Amino acid sequence: MRLTVALALLLCGAAPSALAEERASRARVSANGLYSVRTVDVGVGRCRLEMLKENGALWSADVCVGTVDDLYFASNDGEKVWVLYPLVEKGKPPPGKKKTKGSSLAWARVMVAAQFDRTGQKLQERRLTELMTTKQLSEVRQLAHHLKWLEGTLGIPGKGPRLTDAGVLEFEPVGVKTQRLTF
């Protein structure tokens, strides 16, 4: 039966990606409990950022601000979203530049957090080098093409990112004291 359906779809020209269902990130609730935020992957290169209330959607924006594996946090007014990117691609030195002092840290100059509004416009961002000193960067877990930097995620021990009662996003980069982002 499955083979028959697969052959029928193949003969009709249906692409395998068209058969895939939407994938959504874990919805995270605002500190006051009124809103939750998530992203939905609706197909190749197509995403939707959603702010939800108890009775349905408050707003949505057709924009890709991260993946379903990233961490999304809603403001208490439901207007803004912080996104933490626990697994990021390493930065690369600018092309054509001679190797200079500090250029060996190009891998660490990557965006690891960003704040967006209801239209999906980026309001602010944080780079790893803004959250950690050069000495602390040795704690970052480097993979072949990516890096892991956030405690409590991806198998790194520690407290995971969280919203305080005051609506402040708190998290710990590896080997660093608690960092705070406000809406």
Which pTM does this prediction carry?
0.83
The per-residue pLDDT for 99 is 57
The per-residue pLDDT for 45 is 87
- Please write the tens of the pLDDT for every residue from 110-136: 999 999 999 999 999 999 999 999 999
- Please write the tens of the pLDDT for every residue from 68-77: 999 999 999 9
Q: What does the alpha-carbon distance between residue 153 and residue 85 come to, in Å, rounded to a whole number?
A: 10
Helices (H), 40-183: 128-131
* Tokens coding 175: 């080997």
* H or E, element range at 7: helix 2-12
- Please write the tens of the pLDDT for every residue from 159-173: 999 999 999 999 999
